Chains A and B, each alone.
Chain A
């Protein structure tokens, strides 16, 4: 069975500092990888995804994630965070021929001024 581990439940960081949100998964088959974000009082939004090709994927708001097959990781990074990045971030995987997403427990990113 697949599982996703987000190693940090909360990550406090000062504005303009870099941040990394960690995600590891376990699966014996090929997977697709996703990061979703939930801003306060809003629904889940897709931040970025890895399906195939380049292992480094980027979002429009400066986040990036790198698929590392040997380490079964898909960590999310941003070189300089903004107050507006405060949200809960979810890592998710889906089997190559599956239909359901398997989520991690979420990481709350708190950006302080």
Chain B
């Protein structure tokens, strides 16, 4: 069974540009999460999808960030326009249907974003 995949693995962009990160969860996992680790600090929650619906987006830093999950499969996280402080590693995770409260979250390898 394939794990959580993320694309690209690395992205280097200039301030003001737009970047779109993609996450493909484990097949059949309804729950999808985005997390971010900035500058070696804690990994912080951004948002949670259940299928195509945003269940919790309390961690989204500002309106420059837009997450979508059309069709309830893969998800994208767009940063527009990117700022220097957006640099970091963006992780995606997924868990099984009906197990948002108790299920193990399986993480992808992360996308390393550097904004210059």
Contact = CB atoms under 8 A, between A and B. Distances in A.
Interface of A: 4, 32, 36, 42-46, 49, 51, 90, 92, 96-106
Q: How many of chain B's residues touch chain A, expressed as a range?
A: 20 to 34
Interface in B1-47: 3-4, 31, 33, 35, 40-45
A105 B45 CA distance: 13
A98 B101 contact: yes
Contacts of A90: 43
Given A51-B102, A90-B43, A100 B33 contact: yes
B30 to A, nearest CB: 12
Interface of B: 3-4, 31, 33, 35, 40-45, 48, 55-56, 59, 91, 93, 100-102, 104-110
Most buried by B among A96, A98, A99, A102: A99
A106 B40 CA distance: 8
A46 B104 contact: yes
Given A43-B4, A51-B102, A97-B101, A105 B41 contact: yes
A32 B102 CA distance: 8
A101 B105 contact: yes
A101 to B, nearest CB: 6
A99 B55 contact: yes
Contacts of B109: 42-43
Nearest to B46: A100
A106 B42 CA distance: 7
A101 B9 CA distance: 23
B43 A103 contact: yes
Given A4-B42, A100-B45, A100-B56, 8 more contacts: A42-B109, A49-B104, A90-B43, A98-B101, A101-B105, A102-B45, A103-B35, A105-B42
